[in-house]
Structure 1
């Protein structure tokens, strides 16, 4: 066995094993990039074997075998398609993508020209010249694209650049020695006297680089999948938290409707029935019942407006909240002799609806407590947002109370619970005959 033949068997075996690996990868992953690369390897290896037969001919000229030229064109087209997909060139570098598409058009044009030249039996010199011309165009264009691709700064690009560079160098050396008789001796004992040796060594080096590159890409894809899965898990957890908040809001609305509106609506029904009975027996008492129904109905409407306001996204601004707390305080204390004092800071911050609802209910409960229990001449209300913190304060100069005992009912416990749900701190200080001060500060979501 001669040295050239032994080298060719070794190199062919390596390439066919790589082609088999690509086919198996395609069957496993169903990605076009693998079968295209397998076609490229098989086609290019077949051309090497056909070239070996042509080298035995007298006056050999490259490109004078139509089948070799056709197989090379198919191989290069698969190679270009492989490169486009491997590095996602269409998205990462549209200019290089257009150049590579033009290279495929050059290959198609070359095939058409070859069909014409072979069909009309042009001289071998013209056919070989045409072949060499198109091949140098492809090699030169590839050397133009490579620096552009290198600027993509992707890990897989480095392997592609090195592999393509070695392949192009092998092709150029193979074309070059065809025209240097001192080297192109085609001696079986001298493998490097055959142009195919340079091309096949370039292809083998390229295949090894691409294999490493595809392995790296697969690794990156796996890491990306893990990253995406992690993001999905975080998103699912966030969605679950949002769902829990929505359920909490729904439960609170149901509780408010039951606690604040249920009793009032039931009393309206009872007063309506009583008024109906009193119309003939005691008209004055019936009129009193009707007036009570009107007052209760207005209270129901007010409570409904407060619930709707606290949930409506159009009222998320701090300015809307300030307007609402002013309106609420004035509505509560309007028939009273108590003087209201407001100290509010203007801001363009946004208060989320879930937070705004609890904040407003705390504020409203503090106002009710001041109205019912303090007998105060003055009530001081301050509201400010600074450094992503909300500060709300309600102070009166009334009779005060013992914070350890609290008000009657569960009002104080309710506002402490709401303050805790806001991750806030509620401080209440009070002394007999010295008034009461309630201060709430809580973080504003970023």
Structure 2
């Protein structure tokens, strides 16, 4: 059986490893457009500042390991440009490869709006790959004093923190009035305060319209709908879009976000073709419909299951609840499930309960303040989502809630959870339970 995988990162190589481990006679070919396999994209902001000292630390397995240890025909610089679903082949500029079963795991690419004038100037960057990070680091010379980040989501905030560590002056321009993707206004305000505390300038509710360059062809100004801003380097971090343009005319069904539609077994609408990761849809358990949430955790899970399903070891993907966490200077920011806007869009009558409480017994010297917010159904009190911001204890609460959301719990059931307590670690009532009780 000939298995072909397009894409050599999280989803693609998770699938490849399941195939070679469970089908000793499998012929696995992976076609990767770049030169790196299985690397941690989420670590790239920390490479810029030197918190991660070397790019090789981000590579889980290099291409030679896949070839020599696992017997995978792992190719680099092989960009697939078309799929012939009748002949069952994939092709690029200099190759055609036949398949019995095919996995599309091409990931996503950063969005750079085409109506921005001057977008091709030097020192305007996106950050998605190791080569992207290398180019940014090459340009972060001493003469670069000011960096403008377009976008106030996860990547924008993480890069801002790491550039401040390099003593760069940072400005974030965000089209939304709220900083931090998906956070409620009262939580976003805490993120704003943290940014300002560390000297980050915020231009919220502004839209970039164009860029102007200097005599060397590098960006020198960012123009918005309100003002013109001098800058030395720009990072664009306004979101990603699936790498599915090459599928035009293939007959594969795409979502309105251009992600490949898949069922629970990661199968597309065409037999023997599967898709996984940032180029595919993910079923959202709370929305009860397909969504597009490109995260490394989802890509690894979907890829692993796609590989098993391709060799007949059927395992369904159980869906996501939308959990995310990040560090931003001295704070940890996390959310899971739905926010009020998402719940309202789905027609849910939603309510909110909030607390600012202590991460441990208030009298203990380890105690820190923790902001908690729960969104719940106004009729049946099913918990729909939650957000947490604080210096410590955020990861514990968001993961407990993510687990609870998976099983569709109510606010009362949150109160009834048997959670751990000792003065250095918690209050008698966990902050999550305190928030549920305040409704």
TM-score by length of 2: 0.22
Rg bigger for which structure? 1
TM-score by length of 1: 0.22
Query: When you count strand as a share of all residues, which structure comes out higher?
Result: 2
Query: When you count helix as a share of all residues, which structure comes out higher?
Result: 1
